[in-house]
A and B are shown apart, each in its own frame.
Chain A
Amino acid sequence: KQEVTQIPAALSVPEGENLVLNCSFTDSAIYNLQWFRQDPGKGLTSLLLIQSSQREQTSGRLNASLDKSSGRSTLYIAASQPGDSATYLCAVWTGANSKLTFGKGITLSVRP
């Protein structure tokens, strides 16, 4: 059974710091891994999608890496801003007829 872990559950940093959010998964036979952002009371916004054949993806200040063999992904946020405050969820998909398995998320607070 696939399990996805995100530690710590919460993180508070001052503005301007570079951040690394970690995600680990138990079954390396994944098709892709997706990072989402969720603001309080809102839906999930996709940030980055990494295919199983890829090592990393970048979008603006965000960079996500994937190491399938070790079952790990990291989301790097450069020069954090208060507007980055949200919950960040990673999820893995192991293919058709199977579910998207989520971690419980990391709640990030960036202090001005």
Chain B
Amino acid sequence: NAGVTQTPKFQVLKTGQSMTLQCAQDMNHEYMSWYRQDPGMGLRLIHYSVGAGITDQGEVPNGYNVSRSTTEDFPLRLLSAAPSQTSVYFCASTRLGDYGYTFGSGTRLTVV
């Protein structure tokens, strides 16, 4: 099925560990982005990309890295996990222009 696929669905990390959250879309969307969702804070943009090789920071980029080597994939890397990064992470994509966003099902991350 066409859509945005995120893996893993759940992850527990120890403080200081690193990991990569995977995101892939098969709709040939140029625009991809990562959000985190926290109670009372809503959804906040971490990083986004408007095409392969192009990335930029969102509202809350500290502690996260991204790269976009292909149109399909947009992984999010946590460099050294902290308890403050406990959250639900969503990847989203859209075509540039007046189109709606498609979201993945999310990754629930707990940092202990």
Q: Which residues of B contact A42 (CB under 8 A)?
A: 105-106
Residues of A near any B CB (own CB < 8 A): 31-32, 34, 36, 41-46, 49, 51-52, 89, 91, 93, 96-97, 99-100, 102-105
The contact string, 1 if C-beta is below 8 Å from chain A, for chain B 79-112, is 0000000000010100010111111111010000
The complex places the Cα of A108 from the Cα of B96 at a distance, in Å, of 32
12 contacts between A and B (CB under 8 A): A31-B98, A36-B103, A43-B103, A46-B103, A49-B99, A52-B98, A91-B43, A96-B96, A97-B50, A99-B45, A99-B58, A100-B33
Distance in Å: Cβ of B11 to nearest Cβ of chain A = 15
Question: Smallest CB-CB separation from A41: which chain B residue?
Answer: B108
The complex places the Cα of A58 from the Cα of B26 at a distance, in Å, of 27
The complex places the Cα of A45 from the Cα of B104 at a distance, in Å, of 9
Given contacts A99-B33, A102-B42, A102-B43, contact A32 B105 (CB under 8 A): no
Question: Smallest CB-CB separation from B106: which chain A residue?
Answer: A43
The complex places the Cα of A68 from the Cα of B43 at a distance, in Å, of 22
Instruction: Check if B42 sits within 8 Å of A105, measured CB to CB.
Output: yes
Instruction: Check if B101 sits within 8 Å of A100, measured CB to CB.
Output: yes
The complex places the Cα of A32 from the Cα of B33 at a distance, in Å, of 17
Q: Which residues of A contact B59 (CB under 8 A)?
A: 99
Question: Smallest CB-CB separation from A104: which chain B residue?
Answer: B42
